[in-house]
Amino acid sequence: MRKYLEYAKAYLEEELVLCDNPYLDVENLDGEWVEIDHPKFVRGRHNSPHYRASIAHDLQEAKDLLERG
CB atoms within 10 A of CB 61: 14
Indicate the average pLDDT of the chain: 94
The domains of the chain are located at 2-68
Nearest residue to 44 (alpha-carbon basis) of 22, 69, 64, 11:
22
For residue 31, what are the CA distances in angstroms to 26, 28, 36, 44?
9, 5, 15, 33
| pLDDT, tens digit, 9 for 90 and up, residues 9-37 | 999 999 999 999 999 999 999 999 999 99
pTM of the complete model: 0.82
Say yes or no to pLDDT of 2 above 80. yes
Q: Give the model's pLDDT for residue 67.
A: 94
